[in-house]
Structures are given as structure tokens and as C-alpha cells.
Amino acid sequence: MIYNVRGENIEVTPALREYVEKKIGKLERYLDHTEDVHVHVNLKVYNDKQGKIEVTIPMPNLLLRAEERHDDMYAAIDLVADKLERQIRKHKTKVNRKLRDRDKEAKQAVAAPNHAAAENEEEFEIVRTKHFSLKPMNSEEAILQMNLLGHNFFIFTNAETNRTNIVYRRKDGKYGLIEAN
């Protein structure tokens, strides 16, 4: 694994870097090709002395990302490592389940072709579909619309770029903007 550890309002000491690499390095046992995996770690300290760690691990078929805030930076690192491990386990379970289901479907297709289609269920069920027109507006107007609706996100057409954008409310109460390419 290749680590990129950065600090904002905090000096990344060798001990802190070593601890991050040790804790995140334990995830290698779950990953197949760890020599090319890049780990992006961002450590921050806020004015209230609370530390935050953000870890992003982009991989070919999966993007692992976790963040945690805590008064103790080492405790935050532990919490993030646990979150990432749960994400990897969940992903591996889904992959293995899909492989088992495919094998099961292939055996059933040979034995009884009519029953295989009936037993094939999708994991994600869409329970509601909405259709609406994207109105051209700026991001401030989109935030106002989102707040009026009481939603956590709002999709709109950016009046300046004529592209689809999304505004969303972050955990810290501030707003984020996603711009589609």
C-alpha cells in the first residue's frame, strides 16, 4: 500500500504516520492486489481541539471512504480503521453471495430453465420513482429550494453551465455541491 498522509492544522509526526500505516495496513489481508493500492489520509484539527481523520482508498471496483471525529486522534484512527474493515467485509460478502447465486442459477438453469428466472431476486428494491423537470438556477437558489422541501439534497440545472448539479447538506451543517461532467 502506498500512503499519502497529510495534516491540516496538525503536524504529522513520525509516530502518528506510523500508527496510521499500522492500523490501515491491517486491511491488506482483505485486499487482493495491495501493492498498487493508494491510501489517502487527511488529518485535521479544529478550533475545538477535536481531531478528524478522512481515509480514501480508491480501487478498481470499489471506493472505500471513511471519516471520524474524536478528541483523541489515535482513537479516531482506530474508529476509521474499524469502519473501513466493515465496508470491506460487507463488499466481500456481497461479491461472494453474487458468485454463489450465479452458480446456483447456472445449476438451476440446466435442471429447470423455467424456475431460474422466477427465483432471481435483486438485492436493491426501488420502492418509489419520481419524475421532475430540472429547472435552471444557481446554487444559492437550489439550497433555498432544498431547505423549503426539507430534503438533504436537491438536483438542478446550473444556469451558468447548463449542467446537472446537486447541492447537499453536510454532517457539519454546511452545504456541498456536486457538479456532473
- Across 20-29, 91-100, 139-148, 165-174, least confident range: 91-100
CA distance 100 to 110: 16
- Write down the pLDDT at residue 113: 53
CA distance 8 to 44: 5
How much is the average pLDDT of 46-58? 84
- Write down the pLDDT at residue 126: 82
- Write down the pLDDT at residue 34: 54
pLDDT tens column, 71-81? 888 999 999 99
> Is residue 35 pLDDT above 70, yes or no?
no
Listed residue (41, 49, 96) closest to 69, CA to CA: 49
Structural domains of the chain, ranges and CATH numbers in brackets: 2-91 (3.30.160.100), 136-179 (3.30.505.50)
